[in-house]
């Protein structure tokens, strides 16, 4: 493959901090870089508590546990997301309820969320998909009016804003992922953030085997080992100190695609003009004017030219293991998922690489 969809961009202090942690022998889940990484992440979002964890899925699981979500409860999730969102709900024993998305933002539809509420609904997980913030005003209001806790899934949208406020500041708990292809990476890693001290303490308790923090080896809950290591936090620290530059760099890649493909009417870029929402670029996302066959043909043609792309996530409700969790009719997610494509979004690209990719895409459309 000439051009991968994405790859980690580690051109700052990553290896310096990592080598220092190694040479100081702090390789496990204690060490000052974890504390620093949590503190700086909290400062970046301007939120009191940030708790680093093994990965984004664990962050979601801990968020739900800390809110007391359990068997018999219902948790609303959008149809278009990565499976971790719904899996975390299932881990707690609660029942996920899948709802449709908005046509313009591809995020959870507030109306469909509202329609799915029953007396058992305890939480909702809006997902800021492909870097696009959800309609936080509408979703927050419905949740508040119905006494439902909100957990934001910010795995793909670190730095995005709604109404001038960063995503992650709206939920009771909000969750981030630092997987290799996310906006910042620690290899594998995640973060929970919250304004609530008691929730933060519960997350820490469940992260560390349910062990009483004041009485070692005395367990007061059945917990997990969801700790991040000091080595991973070293990478995270180096990424976080460059976050504004990294986000700008990603946005510039997207702008390059948008500008150079704007005359191809078959390719419709992700909306970046929705009221109150300031998206970030995770993976550059376009819709094909046409159907799945056409989308898959483009993926195949680009593959032949050594360019890796990715179709959008399959809608959860299409997969047999999740199908029964759908409550109302779903149509928009099914349509968007079949028409969506992610183009290579690799910060290691030179401008010439991007030009090559654009050239290939244009050739495919010209020859039609
Ligand atoms: C990546 C991702 C996650 C899970 O994060 P991991 O760190 O891979 O466990 C959760 N939700 C969404 C929307 C994601 O994209």
Q: Please name the residue whose Cα sits nearest to atom 7 of ligand 1.
A: 56
Is residue 304 predicted with pLDDT exceeding 80?
A: yes
Per-position DSSP letters for 261-297, written without gaps between them: TTT-TTEEEPP---TTEE---SSEEEEESS-HHHHHH
For residue 182, the ligand 1 atom closest to its alpha carbon is 1
For residue 282, the ligand 1 atom closest to its alpha carbon is 15
pLDDT at 310: 98
Dist. CA 304 → ligand 1 center (Å): 29
Dist. CA 63 → ligand 1 center (Å): 14
Q: Does 156 contact ligand 1 (Cβ within 6 A)? A: yes
- List Cα–Cα distances, 35 to 60, 230, 236, in angstroms: 20, 9, 11
Residues 107-115 have a mean pLDDT of 98
Summarize pLDDT for 316-340 with one digit per residue, the tens. 999 999 999 998 899 999 999 999 9
- Close Cβ partners of 353 (under 8 Å, ≥ 6 residues apart): 3, 346
Which three-class secondary structure state does DSSP give residue 367? coil
Dist. CA 177 → ligand 1 center (Å): 5
Q: Does 315 contact ligand 1 (Cβ within 6 A)? A: no
Which three-class secondary structure state does DSSP give residue 84? helix
Environment class of 209 (CB within 10 Å of its CB; exposed 0-12, middle 13-18, buried 19+): middle
Summarize pLDDT for 185-232 with one digit per residue, the tens. 999 999 999 999 999 999 999 999 999 999 999 999 999 999 999 999
Dist. CA 81 → ligand 1 center (Å): 9
Residues 29-52 have a mean pLDDT of 97
Residues 17-34 have a mean pLDDT of 95
- Provide the whole-model pTM: 0.98
For residue 58, the ligand 1 atom closest to its alpha carbon is 9
Q: Does 171 contact ligand 1 (Cβ within 6 A)? A: no
End-to-end, the C-alpha distance of the chain in Å comes to 24
Q: Does 50 contact ligand 1 (Cβ within 6 A)? A: no
Environment class of 32 (CB within 10 Å of its CB; exposed 0-12, middle 13-18, buried 19+): middle
Do the beta carbons of residue 268 and residue 341 sit within 8 Å?
no
Q: Which residue has the tokens 């009191």?
A: 48
pLDDT at 170: 98
**Element containing residue 4 per DSSP (H, E):** none
Per-position DSSP letters for 90-157, written without gaps between them: HHTTPEEEEE-B-TTT-SB-HHHHHHT--TTEEEE--B-GGGPPP-HHHHHHHHHHHT-EEEEE-TT-
**Element containing residue 197 per DSSP (H, E):** helix 197-207
Do the beta carbons of residue 203 and residue 194 sit within 8 Å?
yes
> Residue 227 has what DSSP assignment?
B
Phi, psi at residue 109, to the nearest 5°? -85, 125
Do the beta carbons of residue 79 and residue 317 sit within 8 Å?
yes
For residue 57, the ligand 1 atom closest to its alpha carbon is 9
Dist. CA 298 → ligand 1 center (Å): 26
Phi, psi at residue 170, to the nearest 5°? -100, -30
Q: Does 232 contact ligand 1 (Cβ within 6 A)? A: no
List the structure tokens of 18: 């990592």
Mean of the per-residue pLDDT values of the chain: 97
pLDDT tier at 367, thresholds 50, 70, 90: confident
The rounded distance, in Å, linking the Cα atoms of 9 and 14 is 10
């Amino acid at each position: 493959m000439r051009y991968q969809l994405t790859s980690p961009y580690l051109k700052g202090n990553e290896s310096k901090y990592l080598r220092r942690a190694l040479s100081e022998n702090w390789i496990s889940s204690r060490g000052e870089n974890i504390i620093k990484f949590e503190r700086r992440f909290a400062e970046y979002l301007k939120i009191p508590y940030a708790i680093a964890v093994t990965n984004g899925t664990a962050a979601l699981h801990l968020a739900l546990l800390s809110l007391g979500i359990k068997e018999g409860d219902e948790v609303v999730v959008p149809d278009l997301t990565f499976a971790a969102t719904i899996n975390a709900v299932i881990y707690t024993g609660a029942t996920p309820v899948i709802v449709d998305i908005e046509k313009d933002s591809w995020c959870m539809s507030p109306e469909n969320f509202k329609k799915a509420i029953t007396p058992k609904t305890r939480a909702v997980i809006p997902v800021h998909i492909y870097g696009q913030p959800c309609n936080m005003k509408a979703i927050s209001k419905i949740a508040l009016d119905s006494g439902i806790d909100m957990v934001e899934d910010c795995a793909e949208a670190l730095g995005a804003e709604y109404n001038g406020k960063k995503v992650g500041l709206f939920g009771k708990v909000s969750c981030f992922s630092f997987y290799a292809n996310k906006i910042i990476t620690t290899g594998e890693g995640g973060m929970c953030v919250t304004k609530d001290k008691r929730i933060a303490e519960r997350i820490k308790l469940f992260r560390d085997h349910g062990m009483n923090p004041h009485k070692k080896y005395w367990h007061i809950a059945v917990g997990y080992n969801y700790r991040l290591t000091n080595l991973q936090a070293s990478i995270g620290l180096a990424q976080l100190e460059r976050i504004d530059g990294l986000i700008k760099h990603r946005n510039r890649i997207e702008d390059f695609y948008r500008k150079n493909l704007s005359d191809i009417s078959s390719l419709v870029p992700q909306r970046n003009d929705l009221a109150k929402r300031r998206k970030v670029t995770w993976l550059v996302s376009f819709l094909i004017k046409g159907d799945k066959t056409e989308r898959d043909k483009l993926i195949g043609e680009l593959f032949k030219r050594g360019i890796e792309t990715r179709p959008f996530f399959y809608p959860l409700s299409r997969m047999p293991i999740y199908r029964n969790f759908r409550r109302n009719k779903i149509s928009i997610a099914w349509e968007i998922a079949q028409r969506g494509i992610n183009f290579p979004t690799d910060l290691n690209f030179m401008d010439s690489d991007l030009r090559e990719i654009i050239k290939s895409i244009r050739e495919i459309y010209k020859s039609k």
